[in-house]
Amino acid sequence: MADTSVPVKRLRLSPVTGTLVESKPSPLFLKGPVPLDWISAAAKLPGKALAVGIALWWLGGMSKGGEVKVTKTALNALNVSRDAFYDGLKRLEEANLITVIRKPGKRPLVRIAQVTGACKQQTTITESSLDDG
């Protein structure tokens, strides 16, 4: 168990003074590339499925393996409740965008599926179609 009485600070070496100085926390980001076909397919699903999918891609970008377990921090960052998470997980799985391994008493283990032809049933945006708007 971590000792919470000792404050933990992120430090970096200052190139000017040569001493350790406190560094600012870096902003969170989504590591890509994230296939637009995948995002588009998830966006068509009801509820918070897209937000759950973004959480999965965010965690997947930080993990070394291909499988992730969703954390409360990830869900809170995207304003997704526990119930909405499980609903979104089910919808993403039914759309074949993810595969899920469930074990009693454990968080689901999720693998993001590769984009297939089924996800590519979207309208192709061309340069000429952008000029119309």
Q: Is residue 40 part of a domain?
A: yes
Q: Is residue 132 part of a domain?
A: no
Looking at residue 98, its pLDDT comes to 95
For residue 129, pLDDT over 80 is answered with no
Q: Is residue 28 part of a domain?
A: no
Looking at residue 69, its pLDDT comes to 92
Looking at residue 109, its pLDDT comes to 94
Q: pLDDT of 5-58, one tens digit each?
A: 666 678 888 888 888 888 887 788 888 888 999 999 999 999 999 999 999 999
CB atoms within 10 A of CB 77: 14
Looking at residue 12, its pLDDT comes to 84
Looking at residue 90, its pLDDT comes to 97
Q: Look at the chain and report how many structural domains it folds into.
A: 1
Full residue range of the structural domain in which residue 88 is found: 36-122
Q: pLDDT of 70-128, one tens digit each?
A: 999 999 999 999 999 999 999 999 999 999 999 999 999 999 998 765 444 333 333 33
CATH code at 70?
1.10.10.10
For residue 65, pLDDT over 80 is answered with no
Which backbone phi and psi does 75 adopt, to 5 degrees? -65, -40
Q: Is residue 3 part of a domain?
A: no
CA-closest candidate to residue 90, choices 103, 99, 77, 78: 99
- The tokens for 19 are 């001493």
**Alpha helices, DSSP H, located in the chain:** 36-43, 49-62, 72-77, 82-94, 127-131
**What distance in Å separates the CA atoms of residue 118 and residue 85, rounded to the nearest whole number?**
24
**What distance in Å separates the CA atoms of residue 59 and residue 106, rounded to the nearest whole number?**
17
Looking at residue 4, its pLDDT comes to 62
Which segments within 8-101 are labelled E, that is strand?
11-13, 20-22, 67-69, 98-101
The reported pTM is 0.71
